[in-house]
């Protein structure tokens, strides 16, 4: 008999594991950053998921018009079907990051499965012309044992965020932009999802986010540049 105390302990353990899996600022192994320690007024715009052949070019247009470089954490599966868009992201001077092959939660999966997600997505990113490190962002920010373990073995950096302006369902473009600009601090990593059909409010918010950040005296830079300003 497990008994009531045993069941309660199991429930507490499950609760702890669940909280641990979705912690944005902590993982069990390897290096994770959610912001960069700097006094310089710089932030990174990071775009998750996709890319999409239809909507990502609109994002690239806005970035080009505002002369902003950003970081795209792509899923290998849609990326492999959008090679022109992928090459354009790199040609425009943006940075690519790995967001796993599909958008499954990588918890309770084997290390081998994690390695395949990383490897197949890296291949698509390299084929697009990306050089230099490829950082990783977990789908849903979810990680538990095997994912951080493999990442640490590969010496790979996990990047989450400290500003998620789309949080709160039904956010309008104006609300998303205001959230992003108000929450941004020196070294902030801002999370946005601009790639799919349902993300039109985020796409509409993007010019106001860039303009608002600049009015506040902040310049958006790719993650690779932000990381170099660590401690400065």
Catalytic positions, written as ranges = 48, 193
149 burial (CB, 10 Å; 0-12 / 13-18 / 19+) is middle
Query: Interface with Zn ion includes 162 (CB under 5 A)?
Result: no
Q: Residue 7: how many CA atoms within 13 Å on its side-chain side?
A: 4
Q: How many CB atoms lie within 10 A of CB 17?
A: 13
Q: Based on CB atoms, which residue is closest to Zn ion, 49 or 162?
A: 49
Q: How far apart are CA 79 and CA 131, in angstroms?
A: 17
Chain mean position to CA 178 = 20
Three-state DSSP class for 133?
Answer: coil
**Residues ≥6 apart with Cβ < 8 Å to 53:** 81, 82, 84, 85
Question: Least separation, in Å, of the C-beta of 76 and Zn ion?
Answer: 12
Q: Which is nearer to Zn ion, 34 or 218 (CB)?
A: 34
* Selected range binding Zn ion among 43-51, 160-168, 178-186, 198-206, rule: CB under 5 A: 43-51
What is the smallest separation between the CB atom of 65 and Zn ion, expressed in angstroms?
A: 25
Binding-site size for Zn ion (CB under 5 A) equals: 3
Structure tokens at 107: 């918890």
Please state whether the peptide bond connecting residue 227 to the residue before it is cis, i.e. omega within 30 degrees of 0. no
The stretch near Zn ion (CB under 5 A) out of 22-30, 63-71, 134-142, 152-160 is 134-142
Q: Tokens 């310049």, residue?
A: 219
The residue ranges of DSSP E strands in 51-184, in sequence order, are: 71-74, 95-98, 158-159
- Nearer to Zn ion (CB atom), residue 200 or residue 228: 200
**Shortest Cβ distance from residue 106 to Zn ion (Å)?**
11
49 or 95: whose CB is closer to Zn ion?
49
Nearest distance in Å: CB 193, Zn ion: 7
- Interface residue with Zn ion, options 46, 47, 49, 125 (CB under 5 A): 49
Minimum distance from residue 99 beta carbon to Zn ion (Å): 6
DSSP-based three-state secondary structure for 124? helix
Stretch that binds Zn ion, among 19-27, 88-96, 133-141, 179-187 (CB under 5 A): 133-141
Among 43, 48, 60, 141, binds Zn ion (CB under 5 A): 48
Number of C-alpha atoms within 13 angstroms, CB side, residue 163? 26
Tell me which residue has its CB nearest to Zn ion: 48
Nearest to Zn ion of 48, 162 (CB atom): 48
Q: What residues make contact with Zn ion under the rule CB under 5 A? A: 48-49, 139
């Amino acid at each position: 008999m497990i008994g009531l105390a045993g069941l309660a302990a199991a429930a507490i353990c499950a609760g702890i594991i669940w909280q641990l899996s979705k912690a944005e600022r902590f993982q069990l192994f390897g290096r994770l950053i959610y912001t960069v320690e700097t006094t310089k007024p710089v932030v990174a715009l990071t775009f998750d998921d996709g890319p999409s052949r239809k909507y990502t070019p609109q994002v690239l247009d806005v970035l080009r018009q505002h002369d902003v470089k950003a970081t795209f954490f792509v899923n290998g599966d849609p990326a492999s079907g959008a090679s022109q868009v992928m090459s354009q992201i790199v040609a425009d001077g943006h940075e690519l990051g790995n967001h796993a092959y599909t958008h499954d939660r990588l918890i309770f999966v084997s290390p081998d499965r994690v390695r395949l997600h990383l490897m197949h997505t890296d291949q698509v990113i390299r084929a697009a012309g990306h050089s230099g490190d490829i950082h990783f962002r977990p789908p849903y920010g979810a990680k538990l044992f095997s994912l951080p373990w493999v990442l640490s073995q590969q010496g790979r950096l996990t990047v989450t965020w400290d500003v998620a302006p789309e949080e709160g369902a039904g956010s309008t473009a104006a609300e998303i932009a205001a959230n992003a600009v108000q929450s941004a601090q020196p070294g902030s990593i801002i999370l946005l999802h601009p790639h799919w059909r349902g993300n039109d409010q985020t796409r509409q918010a993007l010019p106001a986010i860039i303009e608002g950040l600049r009015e506040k005296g902040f310049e958006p830079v790719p993650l690779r540049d932000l990381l170099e300003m660590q401690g400065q």
